[in-house]
Amino acid sequence: MKNFSISLLGASITISSVLGACGATPPSKPNIIFILADDLGYSDLGCMGSEIHTPNLDKLANEGILYTEMHNTAKCYPTRASLLTGVYFQQTNRAFDNTTTIGEILQENDYTTLWAGKHHATFDPRTRGFDRFYGFLGGALNYINPGNAPAPGGKMPAYIGNDEWILDDEGSRKPFIPDDHDYYTTDAFTDKAIAWMDEYKDEDHPFFLYLAYNAPHWPLQAKNEDVEKYKDYYLDGYDAVRKARYQKQIEMGILDPETSPLSESDYLKSWDELNSTEKQEEIIRMQVYAAMIDRLDQNIGRLVDKLKSNNELENTIIFFLSDNGACAENPTKRVKFPNNKAGLTGEVDSYDAIRESWANVANTPLRYYKTDSYAGGIRTPMIVYCGENIPSKHQINSEKLHLIDMTPTILGLTNSRPEKYADYIAQLPGIDFSASLIGDKLERNKPLYFQFNKGRAIVDNNWKLVKKGNADWELFDLKIDKTEIHNLAEENPAKANELKAKWEEWFSSFENSDTGVED
């Protein structure tokens, strides 16, 4: 069995009992798998209180570490740029200009670099540090048929846009129409990742796999057998599900009700105000959404099984998180395409979303949604699995982390500091949080900053200043108010002004960058 150690602050600290004393055996380089979900809500996994079946992710969390306060950028494409370059999106743009990708750095350290799934940019990843890429360059797509004509034996799809696909060795295709009507992107991305792992399993190189699923981003489309599992789950409406999730979060020790009270509900209408037709439409929406997450988890189980069969699981570190919080959009109101809502929600010729009321449930117990700088937009659970290489199982960690920390951490875990990129690595704004994998506390000497569109925020230790649109800034003490309910801006104007000045100084330095104003 291959084993590895975690490099902390320049010293090789062995955390696998197989290696014995520190320095007794040179550490091997671990494989790294980074799995990114798309628009997954804070409470949508079983290990975060959900009723949705996610046994594979729950097992990784139970045998690894569940971070409950990881932060993203509140939007798909800035999250992906920040994740892959190690800088705030405000320091770069959708072309990843003026930055180096983690793929480019890892290639210098003898890693095979693989990417399947969503990109949400315009360039071919194979030109920026990835040996292989199978996926699409856009932000959303039809899961069953991304093209503009029926697949063999299938119906005319709800066509979202003419986004380009790059199909690994098959090259570019625009539009991409699958060869059969059983195609489903979540399955296809996993199929490609598994094929690559088999292809490279006998080579003496570690691999970095970035698996960027588009699930459960709209449109709501799922396999019928998965939808059927949830036919009786959502009959009682929003409040019943939201309160059940919150109670389970408390019972599981994820939340303390004293410091994380359930935020006020934010439904377009209460369940009792809906007529029977509206209720049935809402039930179907949530059934399909749950089925998409269920299928995502099934595929992660397939991936783990392949690692086991290739004897690679214990030499692999797996990260899982979401690119932003749950999405409250109703895309049918603003997206024009042929065949709009021609079929029932969930099918190839349909186009729908869970919308605001269910998004409020998905983000239990947090406020607001994707694109907002409140917790509901920027907080995500993160699962880190290190096999036998951590001292205890099922750790719940509430350290405040950010996507900018991912590159320094992965470079530390893989001992990747090539001279070619030394200056770039030295200037990365994030911290290496690998010490927390073995239970050590982290120190961050700079605030965390957020801005997307009209949302903005700063987190400095336990203080957070945040605003939405033209509203006033709000101040929260996160030590006692993690769900951001009690605004202290009037009570403590000095702290609010101090943090506002810090945020404005940070943001003003990026005036010429692509600051994430929505298209």
Domains of the chain (ranges, CATH numbers): 31-433 (3.40.720.10)
Residues in the chain with pLDDT < 70?
Answer: 1-27, 162, 333-344, 389-392, 511-519
**Phi-psi group of 98: left, alpha or beta (phi > 0 → left; psi -120 to 50 → alpha; rest → beta):** left
Q: Which residues, listed in sequence order, are joined to residue 12 by a DSSP beta bridge?
A: 7
CA 121 to chain centre: 17
pLDDT at position 1, please? 34
Instruction: Using alpha carbons, list the distances in angstroms from residue 148 to 157, 189, 217, 348.
Output: 7, 20, 20, 11
H/E stretch holding 272: none
Q: Which residues, listed in sequence order, are joined to residue 463 by a DSSP beta bridge?
A: 460, 477
Rounded CA separation 515/170 (Å): 34
Rounded CA separation 140/16 (Å): 41
pLDDT at position 491, please? 98
Q: Three-state DSSP class for 9?
A: coil
Q: Which residues, listed in sequence order, are joined to residue 319 by a DSSP beta bridge?
A: 34, 384
pLDDT at position 334, please? 53
Rounded CA separation 373/434 (Å): 26
Rounded CA separation 490/104 (Å): 48
Q: How many CB atoms lie within 10 A of CB 444?
A: 17
Number of helices (H) and strands (E) in the chain: give both, helices first: 12, 17
pLDDT at position 350, please? 87
What single-letter amino acid sits at 69? E
Q: Three-state DSSP class for 406?
A: helix
pLDDT tens digits, 146-194: 998 999 888 888 887 767 999 999 999 999 999 988 899 999 999 999 9
Instruction: Using alpha carbons, list the distances in angstroms from residue 242 to 6, 43, 52, 97, 289.
Output: 39, 9, 13, 42, 15
pLDDT tens digits, 297-351: 999 999 999 999 999 999 999 999 999 999 999 887 655 555 445 566 889 988 8
